[in-house]
């Protein structure tokens, strides 16, 4: 039974790679070529195991349906989209009818625990390799950043969760729910270690690896959830003072293929594209969101409420980049085709997430039918500025909050706000970061979910978190319990 528990709860056996990485840290060879007993011996093995933890980030269950279902569709920003009847189960997330047996809940849970286990493999076994000490410390800092990332997703989505941090007694750790306070303490500890051990930047061959700035930014974001305003402000002050990042002048171009890993990028998931090796490269974050009837499936579409929020703010720049409509030209000049009026579920005029759109020129140049090689943006410098502004405003320093907030607003062509309120900053987060996976969690952490989502069926005391997958409860004979209301 214990072996079944650990396999089911974590759904992860270490992913090992057979050859070293010579051109780029994400150029790797097929999985499973070495038995586990022969792995974690050489420096190359350590490299390959860390790459596995990164590579897992771009898999289907990490960045496709489960991501939209948990992080966007329950918010006021997004609807299921597509056509009536296609993937109808996604409406359970829009209208808060999710049950413990729904597949996306299981995918979200299992995928992130697989990522945790890949990180734990490195942390527990890297000392067995002949990796030089300085490099070992840097690799450990990278996987601690990644483990914190995976756990941050899990604790926000489920609250109390199993906290598995070592290979010793992993079964026992995986069989009970730890209080979310303990999980957050571990996330803070991991990111603190990552800040200390990560470099400010990497060379070109290692673009995409976690940096000190990425760890500081993610830790600051965690402190927002913990309401540790001073810590969040201090960490983002350090990122700003580092001079490593700056806002890009053109909002639309941030999200294009040419805009990957730009000066505003703090961390993004690297998605190398190899048409001959689907299993080990490529990413389907963008394809299910692309224009239906053109090259995509038409899911996870912006709401009228989001469009109205842009209009109320006079924010045409970010609206035109975030929401692309059927029959209208994008900022790149493409006219969106595909299904027509009244053919998309939930809206009259079909619309799509412009932030994951691949232009016709990009598709022609790269030979892509879909956006399989498009990176996924996770942390941008604009969010660092907004975290800084929110933390200072919540500390009573509205004047200090104005400068970082107004840098973001200036790029959007909006007037400055001299003494911004917390409400104004949260609204700015919505306009800047819409469709990037934070809106539902923002509504919950700021106490707005009950009012903003009441018409969708949100029930306070229940829908702040999602149900624990029923198969996990069954496999642990109920030692892992269900969230209230499910």
Backbone φ and ψ of 130, nearest 5°:
-95, 30
Distance CA 257, CA 50 (A): 25
Q: Are strands 323-325 and 265-269 parallel, antiparallel or unpaired?
A: unpaired
Distance CA 471, CA 486 (A): 14
Lowest mean pLDDT segment, chosen from 143-157, 365-379, 416-430: 365-379
Q: Could you report the per-residue pLDDT of 138-148, keeping only the tens digit for each?
A: 999 999 999 99
Is the pLDDT at 29 greater than 60? The verdict is: no
> Percent of the chain, pLDDT > 70?
91
Residue of 74, 64, 164, 61 whose CA lies nearest to 106: 61
How confident is the prediction for the chain on average, in pLDDT? Answer: 91
Backbone φ and ψ of 66, nearest 5°:
-65, -40
Q: Could you report the per-residue pLDDT of 87-124, keeping only the tens digit for each?
A: 999 999 999 999 999 999 999 999 999 999 999 999 99
Is the pLDDT at 4 greater than 50? The verdict is: no
Distance CA 286, CA 352 (A): 11
Distance CA 105, CA 124 (A): 28
Tell me the domains of the chain and their CATH numbers.
1-198+460-486 (1.25.40.890)
Max mean pLDDT among 271-280, 362-371, 450-459 falls in 450-459
Q: Residue 333 is inside which H or E element, if any?
A: none
What single string gives the DSSP state of each residue in 242-298? HT-----S-HHHHTSGGGTT-TTEEEEE-----TT-TTTS---SSGGGSPBTTTB--
Is the pLDDT at 367 greater than 70? The verdict is: yes
Please state the pTM of the whole predicted model: 0.93
Give the pLDDT band (50/70/90) at residue 5: very low
Q: Could you report the per-residue pLDDT of 193-229, keeping only the tens digit for each?
A: 999 999 999 999 999 999 999 999 999 999 999 999 9
> Percent of the chain, pLDDT > 90?
84
Q: What is the pLDDT of residue 373?
A: 86
Is the pLDDT at 335 greater than 50? The verdict is: yes
Distance CA 55, CA 238 (A): 29
Q: What is the pLDDT of residue 321?
A: 98
Distance CA 259, CA 129 (A): 37
Is the pLDDT at 162 greater than 70? The verdict is: yes
Mean pLDDT value across residues 230-239: 98
Coil, helix or strand at residue 329: strand
Give the pLDDT band (50/70/90) at residue 23: very low
Task: Using CB atoms within 10 Å of the CB of residue 133, give its burial: 0 to 12 exposed, 13 to 18 middle, 19+ buried.
Answer: exposed
Distance CA 27, CA 372 (A): 16
Give the pLDDT band (50/70/90) at residue 12: very low
Distance CA 343, CA 84 (A): 8
Is the pLDDT at 16 greater than 80? The verdict is: no
Is the pLDDT at 24 greater than 90? The verdict is: no
Q: What is the pLDDT of residue 17?
A: 32
**216 in Cβ contact with 235 (< 8 Å):** yes
């Amino acid at each position: 039974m214990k072996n079944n528990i650990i396999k089911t709860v974590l759904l992860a056996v270490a992913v090992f790679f057979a050859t070293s990485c010579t051109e780029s840290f994400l150029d790797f060879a097929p999985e499973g070529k070495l038995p586990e007993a022969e792995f974690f011996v050489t420096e190359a093995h350590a490299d390959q195991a860390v790459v596995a933890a990164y590579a897992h980030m771009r898999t289907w269950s990490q960045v496709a349906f489960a991501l939209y279902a948990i992080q966007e569709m329950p918010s006021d920003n997004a609807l299921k989209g597509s056509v009536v009847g296609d993937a109808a189960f996604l409406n359970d997330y829009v209208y808060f009818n999710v049950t413990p047996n729904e597949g996306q809940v299981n995918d979200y849970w299992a995928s992130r625990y697989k990522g945790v286990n890949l990180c734990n493999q490195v942390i527990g076994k890297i000392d067995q390799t002949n990796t030089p000490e300085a490099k070992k410390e840097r690799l450990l800092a990278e996987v601690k950043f990644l483990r914190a990332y995976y756990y941050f997703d899990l604790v926000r989505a489920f609250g109390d969760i199993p906290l598995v941090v070592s290979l010793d007694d992993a079964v026992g750790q995986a069989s009970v729910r730890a209080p979310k306070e303990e999980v957050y303490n571990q996330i803070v500890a991991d990111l603190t270690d990552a800040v200390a051990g990560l470099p400010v930047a990497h060379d070109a061959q290692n673009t995409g690896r976690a940096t000190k700035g990425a760890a500081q930014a993610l830790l600051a974001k965690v402190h927002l959830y913990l309401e540790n305003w001073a810590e969040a402000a201090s960490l983002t002050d350090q990122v700003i003072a580092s001079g490593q990042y700056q806002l890009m002048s053109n909002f639309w171009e941030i999200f294009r293929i040419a805009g990957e890993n730009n000066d505003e990028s703090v961390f993004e998931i690297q998605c190398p594209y190899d048409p001959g090796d689907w299993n080990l490269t490529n990413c389907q974050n963008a394809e299910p969101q692309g224009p239906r009837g053109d090259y995509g499936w038409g899911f996870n579409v912006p709401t009228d409420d989001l469009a109205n929020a842009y209009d109320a703010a006079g924010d045409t720049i970010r609206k035109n980049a975030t929401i692309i409509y059927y029959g209208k030209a994008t900022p790149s000049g493409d006219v969106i085709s595909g299904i027509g009026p009244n053919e998309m579920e939930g809206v009259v005029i079909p619309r799509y997430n412009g932030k994951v759109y691949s232009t016709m020129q990009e598709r022609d140049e790269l030979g892509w039918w879909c956006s399989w090689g498009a990176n996924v943006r996770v942390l941008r410098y604009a969010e660092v500025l907004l975290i800084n502004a929110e933390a200072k405003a919540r500390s009573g320093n509205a004047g200090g909050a104005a400068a970082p907030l107004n840098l973001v607003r200036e790029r959007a062509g909006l007037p400055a706000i001299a003494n911004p309120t917390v409400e104004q900053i949260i609204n700015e987060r919505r306009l800047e970061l819409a469709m990037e996976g934070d809106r539902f969690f923002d509504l919950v952490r700021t106490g707005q979910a009950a009012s903003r989502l009441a018409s969708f069926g949100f029930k306070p005391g229940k829908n702040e978190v999602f149900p624990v997958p029923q198969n996990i409860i069954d496999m642990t004979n109920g030692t892992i319990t269900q969230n209230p209301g499910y």
